[in-house]
Amino acid sequence: MHMPTDKIVPQSDLYSRESTTARTPDENPLPVRVKARDVSVFYGQKQALFDVSIDVPEKSVTAFIGPSGCGKSTFLRCLNRMNDTIEGCRVSGLIALDGSDIYDPSLDPVELRARVGMVFQKPNPFPKSIYENVAYGPRIHGLARSRSDMDAIVESSLQKAGLWSEVKDRLHEAGTGLSGGQQQRLCIARAIAVSPEVILMDEPCSALDPIATARIEELIDELRQNYTIVIVTHSMQQAARVSQRTAFFHLGNLVEEGPTDLIFTSPVEKRTQDYITGRYG
Amino acid sequence: MAHSFTPPSEQALDGSAERLKRIRAGLGKRHARERRFRALGIAAIAAALGFVAILFSMILYQGLPAFTQANLEVDVHFDPAIVKVAARPVRDAQQSSAEYQRALLDWERKVTMVNWNRVLEQSIKAAAPDFEIDTKSALSIVETSERFRLRDMFVADPGLLGQTVKVKMLASANADNWLKGNIDRSLPDTQQQLSPSARMLSDRFMEDGQMRFAFAWHIFTNSDSRSAPASAGLAGAFIGSLYMMLVVIVLAVPIGVMSAVYLEEFAPKNKFTDFIEVNINNLAAVPSIVFGLLGAAVFINYFRLPLSAPLVGGLVLTLMTLPTIIIATRSALRAVPPSLRQAALGIGASKTQTVFHHVLPVTYPGILTATIIGVAQALGETAPLLLIGMNAFVAQIPGSPLEPSSALPVQIYLWQGNENRNFFEARTSAAIIVLLGLMLMLNAIAIFLRARLERRK
Amino acid sequence: MGQHTVTSFDEDLNAIDRLVHDMGDLAADMVVASTRSLVETDAVLAQRVISDDAIMDARQRELDDRAITLIAKRQPVAQDLRAVVGAIRMAADLERIGDLAKNISKRVSAVGEGSAPRSLSHSIDAMAQSVVAQVHEVIAAYEGRDSEKLKLLRAADENIDIQYTRVFRELLTYMMEDPRNITTCTHLLFCAKNLERIGDHVTNIAEDAYYVMTGMQLPLYRPKADETSVAD
């Protein structure tokens, strides 16, 4: 795979572009993993996203916030081409993972999704055993050479998801029998079992209680050491707690993006300010 | 209006009391409406249960007596004076196999020529030596097929010659009717099926205990019979139905499920697939007799498949069952939560892997239920089978799906129209009981499998 | 700025804001009264200032309670967070201003006993006028959300420092002229120092208010003209 130069020169063209988005760069910018330029999404005739350009830095958490229907989930789903599965959905613009266009016709979305994992809003383990849930991804991608290989992958994935000690004695019980928070961590283990480079999380805590939420947040913070994480959340507090950069979407536009500390103390845009302080609408 | 002014707080108080009063007044009416609705519901269910109970008790009342039939136990003397045949040929060393077979057949033909009726008549008369009765009347007590049984006994064991053995013989349909009281005993002789002496002898045997009612196993082991109605059974029709069921399951389930999966998961949504969908729905509403016509035209006239064969019946019923299975499977697939698909796709499973590894297994209980309902429906179908010749009288049990056969519902239809109404009314009900039993068994299997599949989740 | 979707949030924030205003008004009154009591050796007025300080302390406690409750309940962010945290800090500064005013008033009796020359308090009076003006202005600027004025206010503190240096030298001269003035002059010197400190608190308030309004910190560097600490 070729190594594009814009991975090494971070946030190269983003700040010189003409755009309605208010941007604040990091003081010490990290290399860019995912690069989006002028991404628009249409559902049939309706445009859901308008010329979104953003860089997602590696080994950090980028949070997308915004009111319902603002396009943040839509954009997230563009990053692993989950939108392909929706009838009548059209994506324009450029999204590059490590410098290569993910919408290139020669790229198989199946391969892309092995590199860009996803965790969903509702914990959705397969109606199979805990072991099978984690082993499924490596199995279909042929990542384990032997049974002991697979056992090792399952164990380390569950370890990383902080679930191993809770389930190691019942790996062959149904994954759906776990509590909500455990199920979500199982889904995270399932996602990291295929060793993705990027993990997308679509409101991963919205169905969980505060304790389970705290555990997931702790986990996200740990996973940041090795993965690039993009999280969509409705909880401003959560975005403030777990992310390093925050992007605010409104009515399909990327209104503002910048370091989380700045967004939550002194945002540049009035719309951002109104939203995060609860003056929206 | 100054004089009608009251302070707002008091007004509010009055208002709330007034409001409460109104709510309470309406409450009674609302509860009454609820009670009425519940009473109606219970009445509806009671009515439905009542009808089912009436239907079942009628069928059981009529059908259960058919499961017992009168049997006459007499000593049969294989009188050498009547059974005048040489000894059974024995194969000697010089004889070829064909020669031996020929000799054996020749011997068997001779055995058949023996006047077995005479053996029967003597046996019956010997059982009541003091009773004066003519040959025809004596023979009319037992079923005509019994003489063949005596012959078969002798063929199997030629050593019986000159011996006397106790044989339990099936009473004739007429005698059975007479003894069960299905015939009005006060009717004049001209309207009775049996002669007066035969009737008296039957009654006497009954009193002596030589004539007894026993469970009629032959209903399950014999095929239909016209010459010996008392020995008529369901086995042929049952096996025919079983073959058809097999054909339906083997063909309709894979084709139906695959069509449903393709239409629901893979097919692009356009005018053409809409057209197909509408037509599948229409097909489910097509009268079954039309499928029979189609089967007759296509399978028999065009493909030249054998008439009356369970294979053709199964094909026709498959066509009839397909829409049911497709529609049910599609709705089961549609009921699978999108989160499951997303989970699989999100981890990088291909569309096909998603469907076959995750979506389809979840729908198994639904598909299973649809299949059983479809098969049960097909099992009870008569009209299309009439058009492909399955109402033909078939006296033997079919050995393969290509041999002519009847089917349970068709058998019911045939017996219902039999001229020996007195006897076959009960038989028809007995056949209905068997068919219903089969259906209940299918449903029980469906419930059992469904519970097991759902527990596995 | 628009309304919060949750109206009681606005009410809570407004209550805190009102308390800041009240404390500001009270602080301004106390500074005015204490300088007048000093210049006119009005013991009654001085006593009122001393008793006002208790009110000031009570207000500050109320504000702290409300602010902490609001943070716990609403988890404010951005401007709301800045407003609450700014209010806590401004209240602390205003309370200190109140303390300093009380301290000046306490010295009134001591200054009155000595036969201080009227001329002695003239320069202090001028300085007091500047400080009072600063206090009034910072409160007005905060109420009027005037961030530019706040910037100027901070710069204006330089004048007070210069005035303080002048008063310091003047009092030093008086003490050298006549050692009997030493007691009075020392008290006056403390009063002047208190006024200068009030000026510093006003600067702090201006900085806090600026941050609350704009979300930006004023640069750390600021002209400093108080040379007394290094002089001599």
Give the C-alpha separation, B362 to B457, whole Å: 8
Neighbours of chain C (3+ CB pairs under 8 A): A
- Same-domain status, B149 and B239: no
- Interface contact C79-A273, CB threshold 8 A: yes
**Domains of chain A, CATH where assigned:** 5-14+31-276 (3.40.50.300)
Distance from CA of C11 to the nearest CA of A (A): 14
Rg over alpha carbons for chain C, rounded to the nearest Å, is 19
Residue C230 pLDDT exceeds 60? no
Out of A236, A265, A274, name the one closest to residue C215 (CB). Answer: A265
Quote the pLDDT of residue C232: 38
Q: Is the pTM of this model over 0.80?
A: no
CATH number, domain of C61, equals: 1.20.58.220
More confident residue, C193 or B162: C193
> How far is the first Cα of chain C from the last one, in angstroms, to the nearest whole number?
52
Asked whether the beta carbons of B387 and B308 are under 8 A apart, the reply is no
Tell me the average pLDDT across A155-174: 91
Give the mutation candidate from A262, A271, A277, A280 for the C interface (greatest C CB count, under 10 A): A277
Q: What is the b/e burial string over C165-190, where b = at least 16 CB atoms within 10 angstroms of the residue's CB?
A: bebbebbeebbeeeeebeebbbbbbb
At B22, list the tokens.
Answer: 């109104």
Domain count, chain C: 1
- Same-domain status, B408 and B340: yes
pLDDT one-digit tens code per residue, C140-171: 998 888 888 888 888 888 889 999 999 999 88
Query: Could you tell me if residue C227 is inside a domain?
Result: no
Would you say the C-alpha torsion A68, A74, A79, A80 has a positive or negative sign? positive
Minimal Cα distance from C215: which residue of A? A266
Query: Could you tell me if residue B221 is inside a domain?
Result: no
Out of A240, A267, A279, name the one closest to residue C2 (CB). Answer: A279
Give the C-alpha separation, B323 to B285, whole Å: 9
Distance from CA of A47 to the nearest CA of C (A): 28
List the domain range (segments joined by +) for residue C16.
7-214
- Interface contact A191-B346, CB threshold 8 A: yes
Give the C-alpha separation, B208 to A228, whole Å: 98
Give the C-alpha separation, A229 to A238, whole Å: 14
Q: Per-residue pLDDT for chain B (457 aa), expressed as one digit of tens each? A: 445 555 555 555 567 888 888 888 889 889 999 999 999 999 999 999 999 999 999 999 988 888 888 898 888 888 888 888 888 888 887 888 888 888 889 888 888 888 888 888 888 888 888 888 888 888 888 888 888 888 888 888 888 888 888 888 888 888 888 888 888 888 888 888 888 888 888 888 888 888 889 898 888 888 888 888 888 888 889 999 999 999 999 999 999 999 999 999 888 888 999 999 999 999 888 898 999 999 899 998 999 888 888 999 999 999 999 999 999 999 999 999 988 999 999 898 999 999 999 999 989 888 888 888 888 888 888 888 888 888 888 888 888 888 888 888 999 998 888 888 778 888 899 999 999 998 888 888 888 888 888 776 5
Give the mutation candidate from A111, A113, A157, A184 for the B interface (greatest B CB count, under 10 A): A113
Q: Largest Cα–Cα distance of chain A, in whole Å? A: 57
Domain count, chain B: 2
- Interface contact C77-A279, CB threshold 8 A: no
CATH number, domain of B306, equals: 1.10.3720.10
- Same-domain status, B274 and B206: no
pLDDT one-digit tens code per residue, A15-30: 777 778 888 888 888 8
**Cα distances (angstroms) measured from residue B180 to each of B64, B105, B169, B230, B449:** 12, 41, 17, 13, 43
- Same-domain status, B271 and B355: yes
More confident residue, C115 or A196: A196
Query: Could you tell me if residue B83 is inside a domain?
Result: yes
Q: Which amino acid is at A249?
A: F
Q: Largest Cα–Cα distance of chain B, in whole Å? A: 138
- Same-domain status, B407 and B287: yes
- Interface contact A279-C76, CB threshold 8 A: no
Q: Do chains B and A touch (3 or more CB pairs under 8 A)?
A: yes
Distance from CA of B278 to the nearest CA of A (A): 21
Tell me the average pLDDT across C200-216: 91
- Interface contact A266-C216, CB threshold 8 A: yes
Asked whether the beta carbons of B182 and B191 are under 8 A apart, the reply is no
Minimal Cα distance from A135: which residue of B? B347
List the domain range (segments joined by +) for residue B139.
65-216
DSSP character string of chain C: ----SSHHHHHHHHHHHHHHHHHHHHHHHHHHHHHHHHHTT-HHHHHHHHHHHHHHHHHHHHHHHHHHHHHHHH---HHHHHHHHHHHHHHHHHHHHHHHHHHHHHHHHHHHHTT--TTHHHHHHHHHHHHHHHHHHHHHHHHTT-HHHHHHHHHHHHHHHHHHHHHHHHHHHHHHH-GGGHHHHHHHHHHHHHHHHHHHHHHHHHHHHHHHHHS-PPPS-------TTT--
